[in-house]
Amino acid sequence: MEKLTATELQKFSASLTERGLAANTINGVISVLKSSLKKAVVLGITDKQFSDSIVRPKIRGKKIVCFSKEEQKKIEQYIFDKQKPKLFGVILCLYTGLRIGELLALTWEDIDFQKGMLSVTKTCHDCWKDKHYVKVFDTPKTQSSDRVIPIPRQLLGCLKALKKQSKCPFVVVGKTEYGAQVRSYQRTFEILLKKLGIAHKGFHALRHTFATRALEVGMDVKTLSEILGHQNPTITLQRYAHSMIEHKTEMMNKVGRFLP
């Protein structure tokens, strides 16, 4: 602790960049480091902590990738034609914006058919244990991720029919009593896209597609933000501003009508 200086801390931060770690990862490491050093001051281990002088790497916003309307229609048509219960989770994500962990943690008890509501109270991920992956359940990503989503009435009938034939407590069935695992379901989705001749996109593209379609039909950002479980509408605006270009164009053309 006595040898620790602002220069040494900055060298450490730079070494993480040299190792090729992502900016998000580096910022996470720096946050833990700053918290630890501040605690060291509180505990009297040191009287100086130089963590506030660390220059954090800038995080570049990731490009949002979503499916076109034609691709979405192709995916939906295939799933409804094949009538495979496991694939219905894809439809559910396209019309609720659920993350994959939230989808695979969803049980029938989380769906209120009378009110037409879906409660997101947990998530899941895969964990490597005893030489294979096991499904681990956890609390939602953030406090705002714990939310209630109204189910489109067009989707409610499909869910009711699916529940009648299901013998699994989880909405998305799998090889175990705990439903499908994350990696397995991601692979299922990859195979689906390949069969349909659609260029590979990650599973998260379903969530982005939902958000894009919601903005296209005129959903306000505040409502979309709450449905997606974002901490505030600003995050939603920053992430999906590109999706609003058609809406912006339409509004600007309306303003242009005042021209003689």
144, 151 Cβ separation under 8 angstroms: no
90, 189 Cβ separation under 8 angstroms: yes
What are the angstrom distances between the C-alpha of 127 and each of 15, 91, 131?
29, 26, 10
Q: What is the CA radius of gyration of the chain?
A: 23
What does the pLDDT read at residue 214? 93
Copy the structure tokens of residue 169: 């407590």
What does the pLDDT read at residue 175? 81
Q: How many CB atoms sit inside 10 A of residue 185's CB? A: 22
What does the pLDDT read at residue 184? 93
247, 216 Cβ separation under 8 angstroms: yes
Copy the structure tokens of residue 200: 């590979």
Domains of the chain and any CATH numbers: 6-53 (no CATH), 69-244 (1.10.443.10)
Q: What is the pLDDT along the chain (260 residues), one digit of tens a residue?
A: 778 888 888 888 889 888 888 888 888 898 898 889 889 888 888 887 777 778 888 776 667 889 999 999 999 999 999 999 999 999 999 999 999 999 999 999 999 999 999 999 999 998 888 777 888 999 887 888 899 999 999 999 999 999 999 999 999 998 878 889 999 999 999 999 999 999 999 999 999 999 999 988 889 999 999 999 998 999 898 888 777 777 778 889 999 999 98
Cα torsion 172, 177, 182, 186: sign: negative
Query: What's the rounded Cα separation, in Å, for the pair 246 and 252?
Result: 10
Q: Is 119 helix (H, G, I), strand (E, B) or coil?
A: strand
pTM: 0.77
Contacts of 209 (CB under 8 A, 6+ apart): 66, 67, 72, 94
Measured at the CA of 86, the angle between CA 80 and CA 92, to 5 degrees, comes to 65
27 - beta bridge partners? none
Closest CA to 50 of 79, 107, 7, 101: 7
Q: Is 171 helix (H, G, I), strand (E, B) or coil?
A: coil
The phi and psi torsions of 39 (rounded to 5 degrees) equal: -65, -35
What does the pLDDT read at residue 61? 62
What does the pLDDT read at residue 62? 67
Q: Is 121 helix (H, G, I), strand (E, B) or coil?
A: coil
The phi and psi torsions of 52 (rounded to 5 degrees) equal: -65, -15
What are the angstrom distances between the C-alpha of 115 and each of 42, 64, 65?
50, 33, 33
